[in-house]
Chain A
C-alpha cells in the first residue's frame, strides 16, 4: 500500500500520459499498467483545434487520481501559478512540482523547486517535488513537509536507468515520506532496480509511450515494479566475494 498525504494506492507505478500516439493504445496501456495515478501537464487550450479529443475526457475519473505537473515552469512563481490553475479544475489537489533549470539536461532547479514547495504547502496542496538525486535537498524538502520526494534516476526521457544507486539508497534510507523514483527509466529491470533499492514507487512515461508496443511495455513495467517490490520485502541475500555452494558438501558419492 502506497500512502501519499491522504491518498492510498495499491499500485506503486505512476504513469505519465505524454507522447502517446493514439488514444486507444494509451487507454489500453494505462489499463495494462495497473496504475492508479496519472500525470498531466497544464497548457493553453488550442482554440484552432478545439474539437480534438483529449485523453482526460476518455478517463473514468473515479478510478484514477490525477497528478498534474508544473512542467513549463522555470521559476517558483510560474510553478505556483500552474499548480493553482490545475487545482481550480476541481479534479485534484496533488501537484508534481517540476521546475526545470536547464534545457539540455532538463534537470530540476533545486532552489526554485524548494521555494515553490514552500508556497504550495502553505496553500494546502499535496506536494510531490521532482528533484535530482540530491540527498540533502530530499532531506530539506521533507523538513518543509512535502508529501513525497521524486528523485530522478537519470534525465527525463534519457532511458539511462539508475545512474546513482548510492544516492537513491541514501535518500530512501533517510526518507520519512514515500520516495518515488521519477524519470530516466527504460526497461522493467530499471523499475525493478528502483523497487529493490526500497523505493515506494516509480513514475515513468517515455519508457512506455515511446516503446514499440506501449501496451506490452506497460504490463512489463507493472511486472518489474511488482517483482522489485516483492524482492525488497523478501530481503535479498548478501553479496559475497566468493562462491558459496548451494548443494550439500557432505556425502559426495566419489569420496
Chain B
C-alpha cells in the first residue's frame, strides 16, 4: 500500500499494517520518536493497536538541537 511519511509518499508491504511494525521496518536508532497519524498524536502505548491503511499520512518527529 501507499502511505505518506513526513510528507513523502512511500510504498510499504501490506504486512506492515500497524504503527509499531512500520517503526520497526525503519530500523530507527533514535530512542524517542513521536508519531502522528492523520493529525492524531499517538503515544507509545497505542503503536501496537493502531492500524495503518492505504493513503494514511504519518508524521514521525523527534527532538533535535535547538535553542
Is A114 close to B, CB under 8 A?
Answer: no
Complex interface bits, B38-62 against A, C-beta within 8 A gives 1, otherwise 0: 0001111000000000000001111
Interfacial chain A residues near B1, Cβ < 8 Å? none
Determine the residue in chain B with the shortest Cβ distance to A19: B65
Taking a contact as CB atoms under 8 Å apart, the answer to whether B60 and A42 are in contact is no
A40-B64 contact in complex given A47-B26, A90-B44, C-beta closer than 8 Å: yes
Taking a contact as CB atoms under 8 Å apart, the answer to whether B60 and A44 are in contact is yes
Nearest Cβ distance between residue A60 and chain B, in whole angstroms?
Answer: 12
B residues with a Cβ closer than 8 A to A are 5-8, 26-34, 36, 41-44, 59-67
Taking a contact as CB atoms under 8 Å apart, the answer to whether A41 and B64 are in contact is yes
Taking a contact as CB atoms under 8 Å apart, the answer to whether A17 and B34 are in contact is no
A45-B60 contact in complex given A85-B36, A89-B34, C-beta closer than 8 Å: yes
**Which of these binds chain B: A48-56, A194-202, A232-240?**
A48-56
Determine the residue in chain A with the shortest Cβ distance to B42: A88
Taking a contact as CB atoms under 8 Å apart, the answer to whether B63 and A66 are in contact is yes
Taking a contact as CB atoms under 8 Å apart, the answer to whether B65 and A89 are in contact is no
Is A69 close to B, CB under 8 A?
Answer: yes
Listed A/B pairs (17) with beta-carbon separation below 8 Å: A20-B65, A39-B66, A42-B34, A42-B64, A43-B61, A45-B30, A45-B61, A47-B5, A52-B29, A57-B29, A57-B31, A66-B63, A69-B67, A71-B67, A84-B41, A88-B43, A90-B43
A residues with a Cβ closer than 8 A to B are 16-20, 26, 39-45, 47, 50-57, 66, 68-69, 71, 84-86, 88-91, 156, 183, 203-206
Nearest Cβ distance between residue B59 and chain A, in whole angstroms?
Answer: 7
Interface centre among A47, A51, A84, A205 (most CB of B within 10 A): A47
The CA of A91 and the CA of B32, in the complex, are separated in Å by: 9
The CA of A90 and the CA of B62, in the complex, are separated in Å by: 12
Taking a contact as CB atoms under 8 Å apart, the answer to whether B5 and A40 are in contact is no
Taking a contact as CB atoms under 8 Å apart, the answer to whether B26 and A16 are in contact is no
Taking a contact as CB atoms under 8 Å apart, the answer to whether A54 and B62 are in contact is yes
Taking a contact as CB atoms under 8 Å apart, the answer to whether A51 and B29 are in contact is yes
Interfacial chain A residues near B34, Cβ < 8 Å? 42, 85-86, 88-89
Interfacial chain A residues near B7, Cβ < 8 Å? 44
A69-B66 contact in complex given A85-B61, A90-B43, C-beta closer than 8 Å: yes
Taking a contact as CB atoms under 8 Å apart, the answer to whether A41 and B66 are in contact is yes
Interfacial chain B residues near A51, Cβ < 8 Å? 29
